[in-house]
Each structure stands twice: as C-alpha cells, then as structure tokens.
Amino acid sequence: MNSLKAGLFAFAAASLTISATASAHPGHADAELPDSYAISTPQIAFYNTPNRKHVLINKGDPVTLGKVAVDLKTASNVLVQFTSGLATVTPEGCPCSVRVSIQFDGQDPIVIKRVNLGTAKTMIGDKYQVDRQSADGSFVLPLPAGHHEISLVVQRIEGDSEVLHAFYPNMQALVFPAAPHKH
C-alpha cells in the first residue's frame, strides 16, 4: 500500500460532514461549476468558490466567507487551510485593513492574518488595476471528539471604503490523529 493510501486510512478515526449553504459539486468535470459548493468525504471537508462571485465586506460586523463541519469520533488535530483575495474597487475610503480569522464552534475568532489594502488606483502602464491582496493561511487546533463547526471569517477594522470585496473563498479541514502533547 502506498504512503498516500496509508495516510488516508489514518483518518478513519474521524468522519467529516459538511455544513454549508452551498450546492453540491457537479458530478462531471465538464459541467458548469456553481458559484460555490461543498464536498465531504471521510478524509476531508471543503468549501470552494471557483468563480468570481464576490462577497461584500461591510465595516463593523464579521462576515463569514465559508463554513465546514467535522464530526470527530476521537480527539484529533484539525488542519484548516484557506485562500481568498481581498480588494477595494473604489478610490475613496482606503487605505483599509481587514482581519482574516478562523472561528471554531461559534467562539471568539482566532485572527490568522491582517490584510492591508491601499487604494483602488494602482497604475501599471496604461492599465487600471485594483489593489488586490491575498487572504491565505492555515491553522491547526486540537479538538475533542464530537461535532465542530469551523468558519472562515473576515472583518474590516480600518478604513471607510464602501466597497471592499472578498473573492474566491476556499477552505479545507483535514483531520489527523491527535499526538500526545509535549511541553
């Protein structure tokens, strides 16, 4: 048995389910992809946004970009990875700053990254470009057995722009057997 298959069997201690408002992934590779979709297998739960549909980031309250859930049969380490792009598309109100966080079970979000956006006008030759920055990151958290919801959350904390967008939010939750803690 190759190491990849052996690694996948190591996940048997946990079963994953998905909790998202997205539609199911199309079955055929040539099918048109929906705006977002979620898939769950015994090894991985993930939420994908393959198309350019954006999410508006208003000032104030946090905005959830994606959500997955894991049902753990035993205590496990959960690796959460995410990618997205943040952009300002109007010239007024920036520079701006956005916190990118992961939230477990509705608790206070854990800030993973802070993204600073300049202004919408960045000239490259004669072509107009918006300021777009990556909102990528990862985090590992040991979780006890049971059902856990994991959300990718952004929150604008500085700047007055009326039009900040998040594009292409994607996230994955991978479950690994818990290792003994060493201090």
For 23-58, what is each residue's pLDDT tens digit? 444 454 555 666 776 666 556 776 777 776 788 898
SS3 content of the chain, % helix, strand, coil (to 5): 5, 55, 40
20 or 32, greater pLDDT: 32
Determine the pLDDT at residue 1: 39
Determine the pLDDT at residue 40: 66
Helix (H) or strand (E) holding 64: strand 63-72
Determine the pLDDT at residue 48: 74
For residue range 135-146, list pLDDT tens digits in order. Answer: 999 999 999 999
What DSSP string runs through 129-172? E-EEEE--EEEEEEE-SEEEEEEEEEEEEE---S-EEEEEEEEE
Cβ atoms of 166 and 89 within 8 Å: the answer is no
Domains of the chain: 44-177 (2.60.120.660)
Residue 151 pLDDT exceeds 90 = yes
For residue range 87-98, list pLDDT tens digits in order. Answer: 887 778 888 899
- Mean per-residue pLDDT for 153-179? 89
108 or 24, greater pLDDT: 108
Share of the chain above pLDDT 70, in %: 68
pLDDT band at 172 (very low <50, low <70, confident <90, very high): very high
Residue 16 pLDDT exceeds 50 = no
Residue 128 pLDDT exceeds 60 = no
User: Mean pLDDT over all residues of the chain?
Assistant: 77
